[in-house]
Amino acid sequence: MKLLKPALVVAAALATVGFAVPAPSAVARDMDCSDFPSQRAAQIYFLNHGGPQSDPDRLDADGDGIACEDNPAPYYYGTTLPGGGGGGGDQQPQITNVHSTVRLAVRPGKRIAGELYRLTASVRPAISREIVVQRKVNGRWRNFAHGTTGGRGVITGTFKAPRTSTAYRAVVQQVTKGNKRYSAATSRTRTLAIQRQRVSLSFDDHSVAEGARVQARVRATPVRAGRPVVLQARSGGTWRTVSRARVNRRGQAEFAVTANLGTDAYRAVALRHRGAAPEQSRVRMLTATDQTPPPTPTNLVAVPGDGTVQLSWSQVTPADFSHNEVWVRTDSTAWSLYTTTGAQSVDVTGLQNDVTYWFSVSSVDLRGNASAKSTAVSAMPTAVAPRARVAAPAAR
């Protein structure tokens, strides 16, 4: 990863104040400071090619009229050619010490590992200088990035956030430019805080009726509005995506789930987003049970006898049918369960004659779901009248 190249910084700075950056000549060679044996040779070349008003070879990086100040002696700091009255001479002028400061900014200050962040270093006085950005690793400062500032003393770079929170600082070494010696400086420490991702999944109700619509709620932090999330269900040993959404400005998303019979495992996954790695929630279970009762029996008929009543009825028998419940009461008692049976008829015995009894029947499935009671019918057991005996005629 690189900070901005100094040539780009200088060109940008010139453009903002209205200077044109000259196009390179198709014939002439583009000279660099390293092409000259001394500062004097570079200064004379600079003055012969339009300096200090024009600098097509960019030999005067800080724009002070002196070219290649870091080159070795002999020196010449005149702004006109030697002998032209411009001053400067061949001797190095008296050095003035200048206090330097450097600042470092980390923006944003909090990131998820893999996301981009920006380092901006600025040096004062604002001249072109080499800046090194260091980061702290295992308690020691190590070089991380470097570059040369432009005329405004600013340089910036974009990087991927590391896995852990990291401290940074910017450092400039002492440098002499012309008759000024700029001091070394170190910025204050700035920290990039790495945020841990968290994804949670919850259901409005974890146990519902088969076929019910359940609301699933997902929350992903740190909040990144628009981040894609998926809801997945475990099926056949693999995770299958059942729905997709994007989190809102509160980091939330909602899904509507149709509950299938039985218990299913679900999880939410925040997908890779702008460098941040995917993150998943804990597994949540959703249980759906059969809560549909069998059909209610119909056409209940009660035929009274002596201390008994014979009941019979009609019914639709579902696949998960278990049994029928026979209920009985009198005008002065509540309903009570008389018996259970898998048949569609039963004899109720042990009843008191000449008392009105009411009867009803309900159906129950294998999961214990019971239908409503059938329409009640009544019957009164009656003792059988004894048969009259006929006397035999007397013998003659």
Cβ–Cβ < 8 Å for 60, 51: yes
The domains found in the chain, sorted by start residue, are 31-93 (no CATH), 97-195 (2.60.40.10), 198-289 (2.60.40.730), 298-379 (2.60.40.10)
Residue 135 binned pLDDT confidence (cut-offs 50, 70, 90): very high
Residue 65 has pLDDT above 50, yes or no: yes
Total length of the chain: 396
Cβ–Cβ < 8 Å for 357, 380: yes
Please give the average per-residue pLDDT across 70-93, as a whole number. 69
Residue 387 binned pLDDT confidence (cut-offs 50, 70, 90): low
CA–CA distance, 66 with 76 (Å, rounded to integer): 8
Cβ–Cβ < 8 Å for 152, 12: no
**pLDDT over 90 percentage in the chain:** 68
Cβ–Cβ < 8 Å for 3, 158: no
- If one compares 13 and 305, the residue with the highest pLDDT of the two is 305
Please, which residues have CB within 8 angstroms of residue 50's CB and are 6 or more apart in sequence?
56
pLDDT tens by residue, 188-204? 999 999 999 999 999 99
In order, the DSSP letters of 229-274 are: EEEEEEETTEEEEEEEEE--TTSEEEEEEEPPSEEEEEEEEEPPBT
Which of 64-73, 108-117, 145-154, 226-235 shows the lowest mean pLDDT across its residues?
64-73
pLDDT tens by residue, 265-288? 999 999 999 999 999 999 999 999
Residue 388 has pLDDT above 90, yes or no: no
pTM of the prediction? 0.62
Residue 60 binned pLDDT confidence (cut-offs 50, 70, 90): confident
Residue 73 binned pLDDT confidence (cut-offs 50, 70, 90): confident
pLDDT tens by residue, 84-124? 555 555 555 578 899 999 999 999 999 999 999 999 999 99
Please, which residues have CB within 8 angstroms of residue 4's CB and are 6 or more apart in sequence?
147, 150, 155, 156, 157
Question: Tokens 């209205």 identify what position?
Answer: 18
